[in-house]
């Protein structure tokens, strides 16, 4: 199973310092985080796209390209590319460029996004929410095949014998579909034979096993190779020496960030009580000592058979030395425990 880091490049008030980080500072930190994740042997680093003041990243491919220059092995992916409000041709050109800079490490995670600011920003109508994504995904997958492209749709001019440059290093840049866990999005990814990423930020992660099973069943029924029907999950988390320290360090930042979103969306305040429940063994937060976080990831693998897990950290703004250390603990201590645990599970299943 691949292990990695996801970040949205949060740039909000740091509750520990009382200061709001600038976008420039956060962007520079992200490059150092990619370098750290690569140095400790993690497999993938994904960067989200937003178009609002509390996140520093509106162009993930630019951040990832900067990270490519200071890393050697780690895969570099958006997390997500808001495809509905972008031009698939430009998306593929940018990630082909990233693929060249990184020598074949680029990936695209395509999604609708959890915010809608990009739609009016780029002149799109929210009434076209579904058709925009479906049509643009179709074009992106056509571009992925390479060669001269002939394509027509309703939301952009048609392409006639168009060829996209630069050419990527990989035969095809991997494209994942991001989902909040709806059957509809899982079904779409399965029918297309595309790997699926599930964002799990609440409830019990084990509840998503049904979606993963449904996705695999539909994918196989659609004639796709079982080995290509990969499932990844992404969840908030933070790692420190002990469970208590990890919770105490992480809560102020995640509470500040999630309470702000809660006020926007009607969730209410993000309380310590709710936080502690989600840190428990069956909760959606991967917060604690290396041993605790490793046990939770192993349990997720046992229940869902996932092929990739990314830890979204930080959530909100934290001192950067704490973020770097949690990445180091993830790679140096959690990853070996997870890989050993998975080997044992696989060995028992094959007996």
- The greatest distance separating any two alpha carbons of the chain, rounded to the nearest whole angstrom, comes to 60
Look up tokens 């140095």; give the residue: 39
pLDDT, position 267: 85
Q: How many domains does the chain have?
A: 1
pLDDT, position 83: 97
Which residues in the chain land under pLDDT 70?
A: none
List phi, psi (to 5°) of 45: -130, 125
Torsion angle of the four alpha carbons 247, 344, 335, 4, in this order, in degrees rounded to the nearest 10:
-90
Query: Which runs of consecutive H residues, i.e. helices, occur in 145-176?
Result: none
Parent domain of 166: 2-349
Fill in the DSSP letter of residue 281: T
Answer for the pair 65, 52: CB distance below 8 angstroms, yes or no: no
pLDDT, position 16: 87
pLDDT, position 114: 80
Q: Among 230, 223, 232, 276, which Cα is nearest to 251's? A: 276
Q: Is the pTM of this model over 0.95?
A: yes
List phi, psi (to 5°) of 235: -145, 150
**Tokens representing 79?**
């997390």
CATH number at residue 91: 3.20.20.30
């Amino acid at each position: 199973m691949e292990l990695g880091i996801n970040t949205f490049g949060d740039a909000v008030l740091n509750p520990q310092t009382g200061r709001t980080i600038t976008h420039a500072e956060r962007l520079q930190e992200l490059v150092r985080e990619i370098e750290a994740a690569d140095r400790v042997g993690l497999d993938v680093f994904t960067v989200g796209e937003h178009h609002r003041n509390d996140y520093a990243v509106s162009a993930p491919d630019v951040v990832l390209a900067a990270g490519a220059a200071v890393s050697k092995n780690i895969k570099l992916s958006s997390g997500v590319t808001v495809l509905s409000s972008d031009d698939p041709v430009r998306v593929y050109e940018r990630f082909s460029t990233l693929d060249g800079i990184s020598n074949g490490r680029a990936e695209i995670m395509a999604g609708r996004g959890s915010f809608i600011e990009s739609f009016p920003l780029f002149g799109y109508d929210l009434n076209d929410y579904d058709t925009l994504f479906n049509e643009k995904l179709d074009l992106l997958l056509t571009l992925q095949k390479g060669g001269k492209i002939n394509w027509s749709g309703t939301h952009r001019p048609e392409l006639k014998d168009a060829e996209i440059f630069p050419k990527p290093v990989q035969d095809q840049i991997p494209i994942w579909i991001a989902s909040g866990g709806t059957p509809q999005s899982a079904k779409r990814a399965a029918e297309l034979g595309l790997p699926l990423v599930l964002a799990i930020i609440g409830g019990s992660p084990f509840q998503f096993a049904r979606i993963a099973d449904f996705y695999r069943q539909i994918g196989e029924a659609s004639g796709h190779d079982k080995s290509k029907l990969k499932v990844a999950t992404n969840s908030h988390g933070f790692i420190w020496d002990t469970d208590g320290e990890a919770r105490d360090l992480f809560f102020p930042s995640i509470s500040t960030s999630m309470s702000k979103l809660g006020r926007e969306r009607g969730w209410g305040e993000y309380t310590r009580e709710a936080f502690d429940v989600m840190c428990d063994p069956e909760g959606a937060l991967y917060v604690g000592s290396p041993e605790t976080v490793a046990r939770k990831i192993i349990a997720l693998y046992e229940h869902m058979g996932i092929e990739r897990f990314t830890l979204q950290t930080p959530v909100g703004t934290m001192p950067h030395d704490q973020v770097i250390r949690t990445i180091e603990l993830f790679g140096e201590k959690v990853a070996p425990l997870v890989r050993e645990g998975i080997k044992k599970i696989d060995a028992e299943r094959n007996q």
